[in-house]
Amino acid sequence: MKVLGIESSCDETGVALVEAGGDASTPPRLLAEALHTQAAMHADYGGVVPELASRDHIRRVLPLLERVLADAGAAPADIGLVAYTRGPGLAGALLVGAGVAVALAAALGRPALGVHHLEGHLLSPFLASPTPAFPFVALLVSGGHTQLMHVAGVGRYELLGETIDDAAGEAFDKSAKLLGLGYPGGPALARLAERGDAAAFKLPRPLLHSGDLDFSFAGLKTAVLTQHRKLGAAPDAQALADLAAATQEAIVDVLVAKSLRALEATGASTLVVAGGVGANRRLRQRLDAAVARRGAAVHYPPLALCTDNGAMIALAAALRLQHGLAVPQTDGAFDVRPRWPLAELSITTP
């Protein structure tokens, strides 16, 4: 079955087509995907403007759909299921994707299925090769979310720890804004950090030795602000690069340490990293080395699929179908859930 996925939870419009096997022994295969990012549009505002995001999704989704079908050599009639991001995300943006998906499904006489955005990220490494094997520990670092999960199977998720304030992605973006790096800040800070000396500034590692698997990055942001003020109104370019490197290293230190602690606590031998921060080069370097020393394995989605995308939505829908966990809609009704805890999808008791 060919599953179409539509992602519109925030500032990326993603559409993709995935071929789902008949049972769980055949992993879904990505046929084509297309993505439009709104980063340039929101840059002037220093962040996402929800109304502008929603309007841009309306403009982009159908041309992206046409491109995906053309790239896959498929026709609309070949689509067997239309999946869309039901939540969490911006309400207006979610409604665009959901409305288009359900309308398209009705026009084709096909069912539709709402998918949890974070489950899409969580399962996205199954689009890479080799694919991870259950059970595994997942480090989910996407936008405003930083969580560690124990994943026993599709739909079997146990929350091990999460951020109690700012997430890792927010720490990157907010620190970048303090350094005057613009929007989106995370990638800009990572690029600047490549020219810096992480040892030049001493920054805190919040909750590093807390004994649990929770995260906190709000204090780090405050420390970055304090150090930046000490540099004065016209800071030296090298000093800015050093502060960027120190900031990145502090975030990475915490993510690596907590991930290793989660592997130890669960006895798992596989770590999966998903979400936009999972594309960070320094994080990948540190995790690769640390996990290898434990004799374990680490899996990431393809770099192009770390940020929000339609492929992960189509994949999550296909995997849920294969494992008998999805009841597609056929009545044309739908809703969206801007706030939707991933734990509600679990069929296990933490």
263: CB partners within 8 A, 6+ apart: 137, 269, 271, 291, 294, 296
DSSP character for 339?
Answer: S
Pairing type for strands 79-87 and 29-37 reads unpaired
Q: Which pLDDT belongs to residue 25? A: 77
Is 49 within 8 Å of 39 (Cβ atoms)? Answer: no
Provide the pairing of β-strand 79-87 with 12-19.
unpaired
In this prediction, residue 350 carries a pLDDT of 32
With contact defined as beta carbons under 8 Å apart, do 83 and 4 qualify? Answer: yes
Q: Are 223 and 204 spatial neighbours (Cβ–Cβ below 8 Å)?
A: yes
Coil, helix or strand for 86?
strand
Query: Could you tell me the two tokens for 165?
Result: 């304030």
Task: Please name the residue that has the structure tokens 């962040």.
Answer: 47
Q: What is the pLDDT of residue 59?
A: 98
Long-range contacts of 205-211 (CB under 8 A, 24+ apart): 205/250, 205/253, 205/254, 205/257, 206/254, 207/254, 208/253, 208/254, 208/257
- On the question of a common fold for 2-123+305-345 and 133-300, the answer reads yes
Residue 57 to residue 62: CA distance in whole angstroms:
9
pLDDT at position 26, please? Answer: 84
Q: What is the pLDDT of residues 6-56, one digit of tens each?
A: 999 999 999 999 999 877 778 899 999 999 999 999 998 989 999 999 999
Which parts of the chain have pLDDT scores under 50?
348-350
Residue 349: predicted pLDDT: 34
E-strand ranges in the chain read 2-7, 12-19, 29-37, 79-87, 112-116, 136-142, 145-153, 156-162, 270-274, 297-299
| CATH no. for 2-123+305-345 | 3.30.420.40
Structure tokens, 227: 């150090």
Q: Domain coordinates of the chain in residue numbers? A: 2-123+305-345, 133-300
DSSP for 142-170, written as a single string: ETTEEEEEEEEETTEEEEEEEBSSS-HHH
Q: What is the CATH number of domain 133-300?
A: 3.30.420.40
